[in-house]
Amino acid sequence: MSLNWSMLENSWRPALEISLLAIGIYYTFMLVKGSRGWSVIIGFLLLFLFTIVSWVLKLEVVSWLLGKFFAFSAFAILVIFQPELRRMLSELGNLRLFYTAREQRENIEVIIQTVERLAEVKIGALIALEQAIQLQEVVESGLVVDCEATPEMLETIFFPNNAIHDGGVIIKGDRITYAACIFPLTQRQDLNKTLGTRHRAAIGLTEETDAIVVVVSEETGLTSYAYKGQLVRGVTQEELRAFLTSVFVKSGRSRSLIEWLRKLIGERHIPQAPAVKAGSK
């Protein structure tokens, strides 16, 4: 019995380390897949395989050069994958302690109604939904609006004769915080040449932040959304609603930290706290 216990005690640590490494590698690949850093990851993997081959074949000069290269690669990773690392850290720290699903759904319906109205009359729109990362840190300009987000207000902003209809709008929770913002354009070369500035700006902003950007095309009236550097074009209102719900509405899929603690140690041990509206000031 003591031998079995000793073997179990010596084996659980390697098993835990392998599991943690596997999870970390998997989520890292999922994070950078399809982004600007994906091709860099492929290049690093090829160099790593080449290093193993040179080590097996005892190519001392090649092994030495590759070893020096990987010694300085940590700094290169921080520079190349800065947007992905920033987004990953923001997602890890984005724990909503209090929220109400009803209010989140109401905020989503504002976006759906706005997109539906603008698409019918082919008025272009660029709407960024802020999450953990403050978007004002990455946009080049913008006018402070700070008003309640309603379909009527968003229609007014994007109306072609309005002085601030060009550029994007930033929404935090149920409030429009900025308008006439210039979002960073993506530098990807593999995109369709027919993509306009709005769609490229939507991809560019979501490459650097955790925001969701909804786009209405002025030429076709089609609705698209961008998230984590990926653009999904020509979605219906129902498809957009389902996607936004999957991101913003946490109840039904997962519970907040405070609800999980109540379930774990009992309702009587956790004091009741008032709900705070997500994104409100």
Which domains does the chain carry? 2-93 (no CATH), 101-248 (3.40.1700.10)
Please state the pTM of the whole predicted model. 0.59
Q: What is the CA angle 118-34-40, rounded to 5?
A: 140
Q: In which residue ranges of the chain is pLDDT below 70?
A: 1-10, 27-41, 71-74, 76-100, 137, 250-281
Q: How far apart are CA 217 and CA 98, in angstroms?
A: 35
Q: Beta strand 168-172 with 125-129: parallel, antiparallel or unpaired?
A: parallel
Q: What is the CA angle 235-115-111, rounded to 5?
A: 105
DSSP one-letter code for 269: G
pLDDT tens-digit series, residues 207-245:
988 899 999 999 999 999 999 999 999 999 999 999 999
Q: For 201, phi and psi rounded to 5 degrees? A: -70, -35
Q: How far is CA 158 from the centre of its chain?
A: 25
Torsion of CA 98, 224, 39, 182, to 10 degrees: -80
Structural contact between residues 216 and 119, judged by C-beta atoms closer than 8 angstroms: yes
What pLDDT sits at residue 45? 74
Q: Which amino acid is at 114?
A: T
The closest of 3, 54, 36 to 191, measured between CA atoms, is 36
Torsion of CA 157, 163, 165, 168, to 10 degrees: -90
What pLDDT sits at residue 157? 95
What pLDDT sits at residue 16? 79
Sheet holding 212-216, edge to edge: 143-148, 175-181, 168-172, 125-129, 212-216, 223-227, 230-235
Tokens, residue 34: 């399809």
Torsion of CA 258, 259, 265, 267, to 10 degrees: 110
Tokens, residue 264: 């774990």
What pLDDT sits at residue 139? 78
